[in-house]
A and B are shown apart, each in its own frame.
Chain A
Amino acid sequence: MIPIIIFLVALLLVTLGVAMYATYAERKVAAFMQDRIGPDRAGPFGLLQPVADGLKMIMKEDFMPANANRWLFFLGPAIAMTTALLTGVVIPWGGTLDLNGTPFTLQVADPDIGILYVFAMVSIGVYGIMLGGWASNNKYALLGAIRAASQMVSYELAMGMSIVALVILTGSLSLNDIVLQQQAGYWNIIYQPLGFLLFLVCAFAECNRAPFDLPECETEFVGGYHTEYSSMKLGFYLFAEYVNMFISSAVIATLFFGGYDVPFLADLGLSQNVTVILGTVGFFMKITFFIFFFMWIRWTLPRFRYDQLMNLGWKALIPLSILNVLLTGVGYYLKNGF
């Protein structure tokens, strides 16, 4: 019982820490892409910048617009943050450690329905944006909230279908099983290149990241759903986006890139604990790459127009995902029979 509580707290702190330094990384990556230096004043290489940003957020006046719905205005950022943090518990962060004879798996819970749990949390997460945007009593915020809702519903379908194709192959919804299968065979990216592409695009849309950041599109909507938010409530919204990005990267790495599996690591003959820890380090390297990829795309591609977004979702991604399910089914049948 005690180790799992320690692990939970550690997971929370790591998630928040990664999200915190993702904000710093975002600014540094943006600076690099635009041939600037980026933040370098606070601490060496500007490493204390996230702390300074956080302090600034807390010290700002917490403003609530007149005629806003007090309850829902408060509830919006809380839901966004909570659901973002809840997703991490089903992700297998590493193999099984050996703590003085008692085995300890680096995963808080391994339910039979791992992926579906992630989906459930993601689908609740949209309420944070919707309720916050509606409660602000502001036209721009409302439009942002409505965009967020329609975008989420449209892209969740294609995302679910890309997972269906993956599940046909793995035969299990448990994330740990999926990693173990990839450890024994090849990574799923080899079997599911199209599925990976679909999942990646949908993950961008679900995280509201550029080029899918229509809900907070500042050129049209001031700040979108968080126009009226200030202080740490705004901080929670912005922070939840980075937590979501971290979790999405972890899910992508788990589903398609072997999770904590590092090729040939088991052949080195290291002790079990060292192997497990190196596997976790490898997993975090994969996650870091995907977080970088998220930022790379953001500072490379311009934002979609709204009709382009809907056309891409409904007329390109969903037919492709159905095709992918069909092809996977046929392939599975040809290989294994019924």
Chain B
Amino acid sequence: MLYLFYLFAVISVLSALMVVAARSPVNSVISLIVCFLSIAGHYILLNAQFLAAVHIIVYTGAIMVLFLFVIMLLNLNKITEPSKTLTTRIAAVTAGALFLFTLLGALRQGVQITAAKEFDGSTGLVKSVGQSLFSEFLLPFEMSSVLFLSAIIGAVMLGRKDRTPREDAPTHPAPVERRTKKIPA
């Protein structure tokens, strides 16, 4: 088990580094997918099967597919990647190093985490996760679902085509619009 943990840990850290180091955006996305899969492995080692499966379905299966979709559609590559100026680079490195020092300083003493519940065989299985979500954490759970709903509605509002005709709109419909018309069956 411990060996598996080290294996997953090494894969997670290396792939996370690859995400920022990779030159091509597609390689970055693939590294991120590998990173997510190894994190799902960590969840399984912690007996959190449900979390692992949902993590793979949501992050690997949906979000990263959309990432890859956008990158492929825009055909991003090295040439279009904006290069940063020297000032930005120095600022980024300084900020990153300071953040690392802060984290190390905070965690140097070691953080004591006490488990809210004793670990038993059912910890992390669907039943126990569901029971705590729908009893103990019902309010935060419902709040986050409302948050998601508002995000969805916001996305639809932003993504909707503007229906009001523009002042400078051409009198003839553009050929692209004509093509999307329904062809009578």
A146 is an interface residue with CB less than 8 A from chain B: yes
* New A-B contacts (11) at CB < 8 Å, excluding given A130-B65, A131-B30: A69-B26, A112-B50, A112-B127, A123-B65, A127-B33, A130-B68, A134-B72, A153-B65, A153-B66, A156-B61, A173-B126
Which one of B2-10, B52-60, B93-101 is at the A interface? Answer: B52-60
How many chain A residues touch B (CB < 8 A): the figure is 27
A152 is an interface residue with CB less than 8 A from chain B: yes
A119 touches B66 (CB 8 A): no
Q: Which size bracket describes the interface of B in this complex?
A: 20 to 34
B69 touches A116 (CB 8 A): no
B62 is an interface residue with CB less than 8 A from chain A: yes
A150 is an interface residue with CB less than 8 A from chain B: yes
B53: nearest chain-A partner, CB-CB: A116
B62 touches A116 (CB 8 A): no
A149 touches B61 (CB 8 A): no
CA–CA, A122 and B61, complex, Å = 8
B-side contacts of A153, CB under 8 Å? 62, 65-66, 69
A113 touches B126 (CB 8 A): yes
B-side contacts of A150, CB under 8 Å? 69
CA–CA, A237 and B56, complex, Å = 23
A-side contacts of B72, CB under 8 Å? 130, 134, 142, 145-146, 149
B-side contacts of A119, CB under 8 Å? 53, 57, 61
**Which residues B18-75 have CB closer than 8 A to chain A?**
26, 30, 33, 49-50, 53-54, 56-57, 60-62, 65-66, 68-69, 72-73
The smallest C-beta distance from A124 to any residue of chain B, in angstroms, reads 6
A-side contacts of B73, CB under 8 Å? 146
CA–CA, A131 and B50, complex, Å = 27
B125 is an interface residue with CB less than 8 A from chain A: yes
Q: Is the interface of A mostly helix, strand, loop or mixed?
A: helix
B180 is an interface residue with CB less than 8 A from chain A: yes
A120 touches B56 (CB 8 A): yes
**Which residues A131-172 have CB closer than 8 A to chain B?**
131, 134, 142, 145-146, 149-150, 152-153, 156
A116 touches B26 (CB 8 A): no
Q: Which of B26, B30, B61, B69 contacts A123 (CB 8 A)?
A: B61
CA–CA, A134 and B68, complex, Å = 10
B-side contacts of A35, CB under 8 Å? none
The smallest C-beta distance from B44 to any residue of chain A, in angstroms, reads 9
B-side contacts of A46, CB under 8 Å? none
B57 touches A134 (CB 8 A): no
The smallest C-beta distance from A245 to any residue of chain B, in angstroms, reads 20
The 6 A-B pairs of least Cβ separation, nearest first, read A123-B61, A116-B53, A120-B56, A149-B69, A113-B53, A112-B125
B-side contacts of A134, CB under 8 Å? 26, 68, 72
A123 touches B50 (CB 8 A): no
A-side contacts of B66, CB under 8 Å? 149, 153
B49 touches A152 (CB 8 A): no
The smallest C-beta distance from B178 to any residue of chain A, in angstroms, reads 14
B44: nearest chain-A partner, CB-CB: A111
A-side contacts of B54, CB under 8 Å? 116
Q: Which of B30, B33, B50, B65 contacts A116 (CB 8 A)?
A: B50
B60 touches A124 (CB 8 A): yes
Given the contacts A146-B73, A173-B126, A113 and B60 also touching, CB distance less than 8 Å: no
CA–CA, A250 and B14, complex, Å = 38
B26 touches A124 (CB 8 A): no
A156 touches B69 (CB 8 A): no
A-side contacts of B49, CB under 8 Å? 111-113
A97 is an interface residue with CB less than 8 A from chain B: no
A120 touches B57 (CB 8 A): yes
The contact sample of 28 A-B pairs, CB cut-off 8 A, is A72-B26, A72-B30, A112-B50, A112-B125, A113-B50, A113-B53, A113-B126, A116-B50, A117-B53, A119-B53, A120-B53, A120-B61, A123-B56, A123-B61, A123-B65, A124-B56, A124-B60, A126-B65, A130-B65, A130-B72, A134-B26, A146-B73, A149-B65, A149-B69, A153-B66, A153-B69, A156-B62, A173-B126
B-side contacts of A117, CB under 8 Å? 53
A124 touches B50 (CB 8 A): no
B73: nearest chain-A partner, CB-CB: A146
**Which residues A300-321 have CB closer than 8 A to chain B?**
307
Best-buried of B65, B68, B127 by chain A (most CB within 10 Å)? B65
B62: nearest chain-A partner, CB-CB: A153
A116: nearest chain-B partner, CB-CB: B53
B61 touches A124 (CB 8 A): yes
The smallest C-beta distance from A83 to any residue of chain B, in angstroms, reads 11
A-side contacts of B125, CB under 8 Å? 112
